[in-house]
Chain A
Amino acid sequence: MGIRIGIDTGGTFTDLIAVDPERGSWHLSKVPSRPTDPVGTITSALDGAGIDPADVELVVVGTTIGINAVLTRRGARVVYLTTDGFQDVPFIQRINRKYHYDFSWKKPEPLVHRPDCIGVVERLDEEGRELEPIDLDALERELAERIAAGDPPAVAVCYLFSYLNPAHELATRERIRERFPDVPVSLSHEIAPIWREYERGSTVLVDAYLKPLVERYVDGVSTALEERGTTSPWALLKTNGGQAVAREARERPAHLLLSGIAGGGIGAAHFARAAGADRAIMVDMGGTSADVCLILDGEPLYSSDFEIEFGFPVSVPSISTRTIGAGGGSIGWVDPGGFLQVGPQSAGAQPGPACYGQGGEEATITDANVRLGRLDPEYFLGGKIPLDPSLSSAALGRLAGALGTDEVDVASAMLRVTNENMANAIRIVTVEEGIDPRDFALVAFGGAGPTHGCEIAESIGMRRVVVPPHPGLGSAFGALSAQPRVDDVRSVYLTDRGTSAAELDRLFAEAEERSLADFAAQGGRDPEVRRSLAMRYQGQNYEQEVPVPNGRIDDAAMAGVYAEYGRLYEGFYGYRLDGIPVELVRLSVVISAAPPALPGLAPEEAAAGGELRQREVYFPGQGFVATRVVHRDALVPGTAFVGPAIVESMDSTVVVPPGWWLEAQASGVLDLVREEAK
């Protein structure tokens, strides 16, 4: 086995992690991202790693180029083909609004202009039967007119009920290939075979919009890798957290949209498993925001309802990540009612927290952490950014003045408010899934995650925090540990009354055959198959995912599935509704491979410079107390102690409050447990 490389290209930095499983050795590096030259960014990261290209077995890249192109509206001109009479669906959208009481909110602008929306004569009914045949000649004439009229377009096709019967969409692509071979075509039933025409249409519009750009990117990286002598395939991290060989992945750019975000959940799941915590909540807290992701049975939670902004959905299976406006740069302020609030406004990287000395006047969470002794001003990011604690104090003093208190109180209050805000957000995420979070572990990622992890956990009543090695490189770890994965998720409309086990058996068998072929094409081996059905009582609008056994499905198997549904429902909501028909609305087949075994990342011997120090650190209810400070490199496996303590490393600072036990594990993970829970 050769070297495996994970790359995460973020907005500011590109992280690279390489592992040589045979030697058990790791390499980590960070280079600045160049948003205008994404290919160059990848090659410079590889050059910086100093690895012999011939030794590389696989490179997996997580990239934000898709989402950035959508956010900055720098994609292709799209022509939208849809059932005649429904050309305005991308403009009408879902008619709800983001806020109840806000005249200033504007609906998202679609990725297509109204004159480029073509109504195609064709119609299917709700069972996929043809009501009206497709008029391909008229379609061709209309498309020819649009092509003649402006920039070369990409075509997105979305016909009503195409998820039940793709014939009209397939015929459309065939005709376009014949007559306009250079025009890329995206079909809605391939990209997102789900009901709801606006959501499916929005998703296929994104796909077409990104296609030319992603093709250029993939060609560019492939060429660059070949020129450097890497002959192995390279892969892209998909929105579903799986990797797929690039030549396949580029066919469905909508599935690459969250490539740059998916890595966090995958990385967190990796370390949660390493720590033996199958049920966990990732909190990836950085400078401006925090991402939250649930991990169930060792895997990140999936959903298909991602929105680029409110009302702008991309309905592909994705790692369900919620972003909250709380980070190190979040600003403390006094609202007009006289209360202290923190965020969501952030000082960002420019001007940054007051202590950066770049002109930031307002007190941020980082300033609060500096004032309370939690961050060492001389060892922030390993000393790369010297902090000026007097500027923190001055900013906090101004805020304290407005509140009639002192700077230490206000700093402590800012941390409490932020931690409670995070805890509330996590509670909402768990209630949405019908989960009680208290027996979950919190996986603390990002520069600020480990600083706040234990106190957020306490607010929720959680008793365990897992801090991965190099918490700042979580997404790159995710790319590295990703495996090929296919999520075949499609809408169905069946009920326990009207659907036979034989029919379900056939549907699952078909889906499995299709997705196994897809999995092999994307470079997967040793497939593991998991099936599930989304069920609800007839009339409800939200579903519960229920596992379905592999192999032949007979009446006994389905009886077991329905029984499991009732059990899961009652478990959370406290009642069940026996006798009401159960609807089956989504059928999923997930094909994945076991995650790769990676060597541990713990230091084998205590590094120099890791000797014990002490400083005064503030803890609520105790004030400033003498606190031990150790360097992470000194924590060889088996090291254990009780807080208060601070563990510092190049990319993050871990706060171990009084009453928390820390133990260093062989995997490199720091395992923190609240004392009464031991």
Chain B
Amino acid sequence: MSGRWEPVVNQIWETNVQPCECCGQIVAKQLWIAEVEGVERRFCGPACEELYRSYVVPKQQAAAS
């Protein structure tokens, strides 16, 4: 795992919270940024990065082939 934490910084007019790219949960305070298959992705934490690698990516590959 090679990610890093990044705080969520919003302007006063930015009223919305970001979802995790794996599970879809809201990320209120800090994002876990990690590169998967050459693409930088934003997760709610390392556990979702792991799930993305172990479940989502193989599923997408199976669907593509």
A and B directly contacting (CB within 8 A) = no
Write the residues of chain B forming the contact surface with A, with a CB cutoff of 8 angstroms: none
